[in-house]
């Protein structure tokens, strides 16, 4: 087992604030001009890396609480707005088809593997950055190396653990270290060498953090150089950005305008069509609210290597004795029940992988406890404290303790600082502990393999289930995506069946739209879902 301090665990404390408003980038962009609703006539100063494109006929106007431009390797993956903006401005070697859960060409026009599946060759298309410079293999290598240099502070980065030299680069003490298994053969060819067969690689590479950024990073502009293959920057204002579809089609969104709106007034006034990262507790009036499944979950992990959690009867009793509906209502009122680790669209819409094994059944839990030889073993329910004095985590842990004591288990809540919590989790010194996952790579591999395979890089629970490992191993070797998905689906059911986690909630994206739209949506990773955008008919 390879235990490490999980970046997903450390991101838990950020999730609650991930949809909150932030400061605008006033002063970091050009003066406003040529923007809907703008009263100024000042000429727009467009940075060198933005080529002006005339506005298309069908424009989607989106309110955002802030407009932070960051390089893909620096994106805060718990921040839905940063993810949305970064996804629009950049693309990686591949992009993920959310309907099919498979990779499609991005900056790479094609890819292939050798016979043993250990060497992947990605051939780049004629894709350019926003300033017209051709994207080369060196840009790709530099981009992936920058993610590796983030170490475990990157949420998506460690999902590339099978690449030769990835962990060495991630654990380097300082500076940007080249990953041995990522090489540029020529300007158009990138070769990635693996330590074991890993067929989900193209899907994983579609994550927002793996967007391509110039090797010769230009620090002279406040706006990142776009490597997007679809929407490209067209104009910049102090409070917004316009992006134009490179090859628009009739009847499709051809232009997107992101406008900073910290109060929601632009949407209410009809100056924008939809707003993302809205406060779900605020009344919407005449507006329509939409919630979308997010690839982020909160749960408790069980340290399966120590008593009493090495007894499956105790683990099952803990799940059945905890009133998860009451916890969700009290502590996570805007979230949904956690029924699956993997976004439902990835596995073909499986509604509830947890099933009856996760039902609230105190009587059955009591039967399991009475039959267990580990019933009298004391354990802790571990949580991390908040620097701002918020006692939510403490109350949540104490609520779980109360439910478990009611069936005779000897549980005690135990507090830790966030720093100590991560270290103790990595050492396997916690008991029943607050855990969670968040990813902008909404794939089954990222949500299951990394966290629960015996050799998983983030296997903080110490899970070691032979059947689960076997299914994950088969999935990693399966070349057919639809068959691969069935292996992951089966593995998830085994995981819930073994009750190695106490599932709590699945977080949601919250957005709103006005009368100009009939439908709106985001993907599970936070990127804009244009397939859900439907404009209302225009009446004369």
CATH of the domain at 296: 3.10.105.10
Q: Are 313 and 199 part of one and the same domain?
A: no
| Alpha-carbon distance values, 420 to 208, 387, 460, 463 (Å) | 29, 13, 14, 22
For residue 236, what are its two tokens? 């910049």
- Residue 349 is assigned to a structural domain of this protein: yes
Whether the predicted model's global pTM rises above the 0.75 cut: yes
Query: Whole-angstrom Cα distance, residue 48 to residue 141?
Result: 24
Q: Are 314 and 418 part of one and the same domain?
A: yes
Report yes or no: 210 and 93 within 8 Å, Cβ to Cβ. Answer: yes
Q: What pLDDT shows up at residue 144?
A: 96
Q: Are 331 and 192 part of one and the same domain?
A: no
Query: Whole-angstrom Cα distance, residue 263 to residue 526?
Result: 21
- Residue ranges in 264-377 assigned as alpha helix (H): 265-268, 312-321, 324-331, 362-371
Report yes or no: 292 and 524 within 8 Å, Cβ to Cβ. Answer: yes
Query: Among all chains, which residue has been given the structure tokens 């908040």?
Result: 386
- Residue 329 is assigned to a structural domain of this protein: yes
In this structure, the strands spanning 255-260 and 59-64 are parallel
- Residue 40 is assigned to a structural domain of this protein: no
Angle at 296 between CA 483 and CA 1, to 5 degrees: 70
Q: Are 177 and 309 part of one and the same domain?
A: no
Angle at 411 between CA 410 and CA 414, to 5 degrees: 145
For 265, counting Cβ atoms within 10 Å of its Cβ (0-12 exposed, 13-18 middle, 19+ buried), the class is exposed
Q: Are 334 and 206 part of one and the same domain?
A: no
Which helix (H) or strand (E) element contains residue 95? Answer: strand 94-97
Q: Count of CB atoms within 10 A of residue 279's CB?
A: 15
CATH of the domain at 105: 3.90.76.10
Q: Are 206 and 343 part of one and the same domain?
A: no
Report yes or no: 309 and 498 within 8 Å, Cβ to Cβ. Answer: no
Output phi, psi for 384, to 5 deg: -110, 145
The dihedral region occupied by 244, where left means phi > 0, alpha psi between -120 and 50, and beta the remainder, is: beta
- Residue 42 is assigned to a structural domain of this protein: no
Instruction: Give which of 450, 445, 447, 503 is closest to 478, Cα–Cα.
Output: 445
Query: Among all chains, which residue has been given the structure tokens 């005690």?
Result: 412
Distant-in-sequence, close-in-space partners of 100: CB < 8 Å, separation ≥ 6 = 481
Task: Return the bridge partners of 112, or none.
Answer: 121
Q: Are 357 and 499 part of one and the same domain?
A: yes
- Residue 207 is assigned to a structural domain of this protein: yes
- Residue ranges in 129-225 assigned as alpha helix (H): 137-149, 166-170, 201-204
Q: Are 349 and 447 part of one and the same domain?
A: yes
Q: Are 300 and 204 part of one and the same domain?
A: no
- Residue 1 is assigned to a structural domain of this protein: no
Q: Are 172 and 318 part of one and the same domain?
A: no
Q: Are 490 and 377 part of one and the same domain?
A: yes
Query: Whole-angstrom Cα distance, residue 429 to residue 461?
Result: 10
User: Given 146, 176, 211, which residue is the final one in a domain?
Assistant: 211
- Residue 265 is assigned to a structural domain of this protein: no
User: Given 192, 211, 230, which residue is the final one in a domain?
Assistant: 211
Task: Return the bridge partners of 25, or none.
Answer: none
Q: What pLDDT shows up at residue 282?
A: 83
DSSP secondary-structure letter at 138?
A: H
Report yes or no: 132 and 118 within 8 Å, Cβ to Cβ. Answer: no
Distance of CA 411 to the CA centre of its chain: 32
Instruction: Give which of 203, 195, 197 is closest to 477, Cα–Cα.
Output: 197
Q: Are 461 and 327 part of one and the same domain?
A: yes
Which helix (H) or strand (E) element contains residue 402? Answer: helix 392-405
User: Given 191, 211, 231, which residue is the final one in a domain?
Assistant: 211
Instruction: Give which of 20, 11, 23 is closest to 78, Cα–Cα.
Output: 11
Q: What pLDDT shows up at residue 530?
A: 87
Instruction: Give which of 435, 432, 429 is closest to 341, Cα–Cα.
Output: 435
Query: Among all chains, which residue has been given the structure tokens 């300082």?
Result: 174
Q: What are the pLDDT tens digits along the chain (540 aa)?
A: 444 544 445 444 444 433 333 333 332 333 334 454 443 322 333 344 444 444 446 899 999 999 877 889 999 988 889 999 999 999 999 998 877 778 999 999 999 999 999 999 999 999 888 878 899 999 999 999 999 988 878 888 888 999 999 988 888 766 667 899 999 999 999 999 999 999 999 999 999 999 999 998 665 555 557 888 888 888 888 889 998 887 777 778 889 999 999 888 999 999 999 999 888 888 888 889 888 888 889 999 999 999 999 999 999 999 999 999 999 999 999 999 998 887 665 545 556 788 888 899 999 999 999 999 999 999 999 999 988 889 999 999 999 999 999 999 999 999 999 989 989 988 889 999 999 888 888 788 888 898 899 998 888 999 999 999 999 999 999 999 889 988 998 999 999 999 999 999 999 999 999 999 999 988 888 889 888 899 988 665
Query: Among all chains, which residue has been given the structure tokens 């088809």?
Result: 97
- Residue 316 is assigned to a structural domain of this protein: yes
Taking the CA atoms of residue 367, residue 371, residue 373 and residue 378 in that order, the dihedral angle to the nearest 10 degrees is 10
Query: Whole-angstrom Cα distance, residue 255 to residue 248?
Result: 9
Report yes or no: 234 and 255 within 8 Å, Cβ to Cβ. Answer: yes
| Alpha-carbon distance values, 143 to 208, 390, 426 (Å) | 12, 38, 28
Query: Whole-angstrom Cα distance, residue 318 to residue 326?
Result: 15
Print the domain residue range for 205.
92-126+136-211
Number of domains in the chain: 2
Task: Return the bridge partners of 17, or none.
Answer: none
């Amino acid at each position: 087992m390879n235990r490490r301090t999980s970046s997903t665990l450390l991101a838990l404390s950020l999730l609650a604030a991930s949809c909150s408003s932030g400061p605008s980038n006033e002063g970091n962009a050009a003066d406003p001009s040529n923007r809907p609703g703008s009263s100024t006539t000042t000429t727009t100063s467009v940075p060198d890396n933005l080529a002006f494109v005339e506005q298309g006929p069908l424009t989607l106007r989106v309110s955002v609480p802030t407009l932070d431009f960051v390089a893909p390797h620096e994106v805060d993956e718990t921040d839905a707005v940063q993810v949305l903006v970064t996804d629009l401005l950049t693309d990686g070697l591949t992009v993920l088809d959310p309907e099919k859960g498979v990779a499609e060409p991005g900056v790479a026009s094609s890819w292939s593997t050798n016979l043993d599946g250990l060497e992947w060759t990605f051939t780049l298309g004629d894709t350019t950055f926003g300033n017209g410079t051709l994207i080369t293999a060196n840009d790709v290598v530099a981009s992936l190396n920058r993610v590796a240099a983030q170490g475990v502070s990157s949420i998506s980065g460690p999902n590339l653990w099978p690449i030769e030299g990835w962990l060495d680069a991630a654990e380097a003490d300082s500076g940007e270290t080249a990953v041995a298994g990522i090489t540029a053969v020529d300007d158009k060819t990138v070769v990635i060498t693996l330590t074991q067969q890993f067929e989900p690689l193209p899907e994983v590479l579609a994550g927002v953090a793996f967007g391509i950024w110039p090797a010769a990073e230009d620090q002279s502009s406040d706006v990142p150089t776009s490597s997007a293959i679809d929407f490209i920057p067209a104009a910049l204002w102090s409070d917004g950005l316009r992006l134009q579809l490179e090859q628009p089609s009739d009847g499709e969104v051809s232009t997107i305008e992101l406008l900073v709106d910290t109060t929601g007034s632009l949407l209410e006034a009809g100056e924008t069509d939809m707003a993302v990262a809205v406060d779900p507790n605020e009344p919407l009036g005449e507006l329509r609210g939409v919630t979308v499944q997010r690839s982020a979950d909160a749960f408790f992990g069980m340290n399966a290597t120590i008593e009493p959690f090495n007894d499956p009867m105790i683990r099952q009793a803990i799940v059945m004795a905890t009133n998860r509906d009451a916890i969700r209502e009290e502590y996570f009122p805007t979230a949904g029940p956690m029924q699956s680790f993997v976004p439902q669209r990835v596995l073909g819409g499986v509604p509830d992988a947890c099933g009856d094994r996760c039902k609230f059944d105190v009587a059955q839990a009591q039967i399991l406890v009475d039959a267990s030889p580990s019933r009298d073993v004391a354990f802790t329910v571990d949580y991390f404290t908040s620097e701002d004095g918020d006692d939510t985590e403490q109350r949540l842990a104490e609520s779980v303790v109360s439910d478990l004591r009611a069936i005779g288990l000897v549980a005690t809540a135990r507090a830790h600082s966030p720093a100590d919590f991560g270290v103790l989790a990595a050492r396997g010194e916690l008991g029943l502990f607050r855990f969670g996952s968040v990813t902008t790579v909404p794939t089954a591999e990222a949500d299951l393999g990394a966290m629960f395979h015996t050799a998983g890089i983030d296997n903080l629970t110490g899970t070691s289930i032979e059947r689960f490992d076997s299914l994950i191993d088969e999935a990693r070797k399966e070349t057919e995506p639809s068959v691969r998905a069935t292996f992951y689906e089966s593995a998830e059911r085994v995981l819930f069946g073994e009750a190695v986690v106490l599932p709590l909630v699945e977080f949601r994206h919250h957005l709103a739209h006005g009368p100009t739209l009939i439908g709106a949506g985001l993907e599970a990773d936070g990127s804009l879902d244009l397939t859900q955008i439907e404009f209302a008919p225009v009446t004369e």
